[in-house]
Amino acid sequence: MTNHDSTRPGRLRRAPENLLSAEQLAATPAQRRGFLRGAFAAASAALTAGAVRAQQADDPAIVNLPPHALALGQPVALEGYGHPSKFEANLQRRQSPGLTPTRQASVSFAPLQGLFGIVTPSGLHFERHHQGWWDIDPSQHRLMVNGSDEQMLKRPMVFTMDELMRLPSVSRFHFIECGANTGMEWGNVAVPTVQYTHGMLSCSEFTGVRLIDVLNMCGFDAKRARFVLAEGGDGSAMTRTIPIELVTSGQVLLAYGQNGEMLRPENGYPLRLVVPGVQGVSWVKWLRRIEVGDQPYATKDEDIHYVDLMPDGQHRQYTSIQEVKSVVTTPSGGQILLDKGFYNISGLAWSGRGKIAKVDVSVDGGQNWKPARLETPVLDRCLSRFNLPWTWDGKPALVMSRATDETGHVQPTYRQLREVRGRRSIYHNNSIQTWLVQESGEVKNVQLS
Ligand SMILES: Nc1nc2c(c(=O)[nH]1)N[C@H]1C(S)=C(S)[C@@H](COP(=O)(O)O)O[C@H]1N2
Ligand SMILES: [Mo]
């Protein structure tokens, strides 16, 4: 069995007697739930009420009272941190087959196929480390703020975490997407599931101090300052140039909170930069220094990495906004539809330029499009959830989503993207994703030429 198979939700085809086989019970529970909900809805819509009742009458789960209705359960744990149900154990971050984790470089992907709504549980947030992660003692952590010269910032300061956490704080929901997300798919279909095609994407409520407030405390020269440099405290010398407009507009945060608690160590505890709409690499983790300057710093992660190889052989630099993008997470690659009938097509849309304005969904490879329902809240530079009811006729279907953001940018097809960008890039692939639902119900990653 390959690594791919371990993320497969398993076979979800409905057995004639409406019972699950042992194999089906071993399927990814979240996925099973998704499809069973669909299957039951289809059953009640398509079958006569009598047929449904007849099927249910000999269902042991209905006929026999289960143990949890007959005996005492467990009391609260005396203390401790809660965990998901043991039946959800298959819902995990996973390493992509072919990418070997080392202490120099590693990445894990979020299981988008099993998540609801827009928030990524912190324990399932994707991870990307250029030199491994650390669990840094917050009492020993410092943030230094300085200027490229003395005029640029009058009062260089070093902050402890306690000092930062005394300052006025804000909480905001934002997505973070690695610039290399979907990067394996530039030339051709490369990975089987949405976890691997799009899973370097997560969304959290971040809490922290606005960087502009700290720069104002330090007396920065608002007339001369054009960029800030952010530097991480790990060994990767992760340093990124951030345009000052993102800072002065109040968007960039020195964040210590994630989903109501402190950041997780692997996500930068105790302090990370939040740069809404910008590729993940600029969200510097274990943040230890901010410098204010008047020109881009052209660091190694801006010169030789995170550049776009264009068809004429030139490299394009500083394309850091994550452009409008979306993906259907259900049905998606590796899943198996139980039977024809009703399904809820569901997915995520996001844009580094603002809010999502609309998402259109096609089930025929882009010939016809229908507007999906955008669920609330629809927030700025945040994941948006969309849903669309669909009745599958059992024939092959090509399922796609196409997002438009509030600035009017529309997600491109692979043909449109490749006309401008070629096929040899790594970063910034925001193409429309296609999933082929085969007659067998099996869903496959495909690209339309
Ligand atoms: N200090 C430091 N910051 C870092 C990195 C790193 O390796 N070291 N990786 C960057 C990259 S490439 C990405 S995509 C995001 C990933 O954030 P996450 O691990 O919290 O998902 O962190 C960014 N910040
Ligand atoms: Mo990244």
**DSSP string covering 119-165:** PPPGGG--EEESS------GGG-EEEEEESSTTTBSS-EEEEHHHHH
Residue nearest atom 20 of ligand 1, based on CA coordinates: 267
- Using CA atoms, how far residue 214 sits from 83, 148, 217, 273, in Å, is 37, 16, 5, 13
Which token pair is 329? 């997470």
What confidence tens digit (pLDDT) does each residue in 233-248 have?
999 989 999 999 999 9
Closest ligand to residue 128's CA: 1
The answer to which of 49-53, 71-75, 280-284 has the lowest mean pLDDT is 49-53
Question: What is residue 91's predicted lDDT score, i.e. its pLDDT?
Answer: 97
Check if the beta carbon of residue 133 is closer than 8 Å to that of residue 266: yes
- Using CA atoms, how far residue 20 sits from 17, 63, 206, 223, 375, in Å, is 9, 16, 40, 67, 32
Percent over 90 (pLDDT), the chain: 79
What confidence tens digit (pLDDT) does each residue in 173-215 have?
999 999 999 999 999 999 999 999 999 999 999 999 999 999 9
Q: Which atom of ligand 1 is nearest to the CA of 125?
A: 21
Which token pair is 413? 């097809």
How many whole angstroms separate alpha carbon 84 and alpha carbon 285?
A: 26
**DSSP string covering 46-81:** HS-HHHHHHHHHT-HHHHSPPGGGTS--PPPPSS--
Q: Is the CB of 232 under 6 A from ligand 1?
A: yes
Identify the sign of the CA torsion 245, 246, 247, 250. positive
- Using CA atoms, how far residue 415 sits from 10, 234, 382, 409, 431, in Å, is 32, 40, 27, 17, 9
How many whole angstroms separate alpha carbon 293 and alpha carbon 243?
A: 10
Which token pair is 265? 């160590």
State the distance from the centre of ligand 1 to the C-alpha of 24, rounded, in angstroms: 37
Question: What is residue 46's predicted lDDT score, i.e. its pLDDT?
Answer: 37
Q: Is the CB of 291 under 6 A from ligand 1?
A: no
Q: 209 exposed, middle or buried (CB, 10 Å; 0-12, 13-18, 19+)?
A: buried
The domains of the chain are located at 88-316, 325-446
Please state the length of the chain. Answer: 449
Q: At what angle do helices 29-46 and 49-57 cross, to 10 degrees?
A: 130
Check if the beta carbon of residue 143 is closer than 8 Å to that of residue 158: yes
Identify the sign of the CA torsion 372, 373, 375, 379. positive
From 129, 206, 271, mutation site for ligand 1 pocket: most ligand atoms within 8 A of C-beta: 129
Q: Is the CB of 234 under 6 A from ligand 1?
A: yes
CATH class of 325-446: mainly beta
**Is residue 227's pLDDT more than 90?**
yes
Question: What is residue 54's predicted lDDT score, i.e. its pLDDT?
Answer: 52
How many whole angstroms separate alpha carbon 221 and alpha carbon 308?
A: 33
Q: Give Cβ neighbours of residue 126 (< 8 Å, ≥ 6 apart).
A: 93, 107, 108, 109, 110, 120, 178, 199, 200, 201, 202
- Residues that place a CB less than 5 A from ion ligand 2: 128, 178, 280-281
Q: Per CATH, which fold does 88-316 belong to?
A: Sulfite Oxidase; Chain A, domain 2 (3.90.420)
State the distance from the centre of ligand 2 to the C-alpha of 83, rounded, in angstroms: 28
Backbone angles phi, psi at 325, to 5 degrees: -155, 155
How many whole angstroms separate alpha carbon 275 and alpha carbon 247?
A: 9
**Is residue 283's pLDDT more than 50?**
yes
Instruction: Count CA atoms closer than 13 A to 389's CA, side-chain side.
Output: 6
Which token pair is 294? 């008047």
Residue nearest atom 15 of ligand 1, based on CA coordinates: 280
How many whole angstroms separate alpha carbon 130 and alpha carbon 141?
A: 20
Backbone angles phi, psi at 408, to 5 degrees: 95, -5
Backbone angles phi, psi at 328, to 5 degrees: -80, 125
How many whole angstroms separate alpha carbon 429 and alpha carbon 447?
A: 13
**Is residue 150's pLDDT more than 70?**
yes
Short-list 152, 296, 293, 155, CA closest to 221: 152
What confidence tens digit (pLDDT) does each residue in 21-39 have?
333 333 444 443 444 333 3
Residue nearest atom 12 of ligand 1, based on CA coordinates: 281
Mean pLDDT computed over 385-411: 98
Closest ligand to residue 183's CA: 2
Q: Who wins on pLDDT, 427 or 10?
A: 427
Mean pLDDT of the residues in the chain: 89
Check if the beta carbon of residue 333 is closer than 8 Å to that of residue 193: yes
What confidence tens digit (pLDDT) does each residue in 71-119 have?
999 998 878 999 999 999 999 999 987 777 888 899 999 999 999 999 9
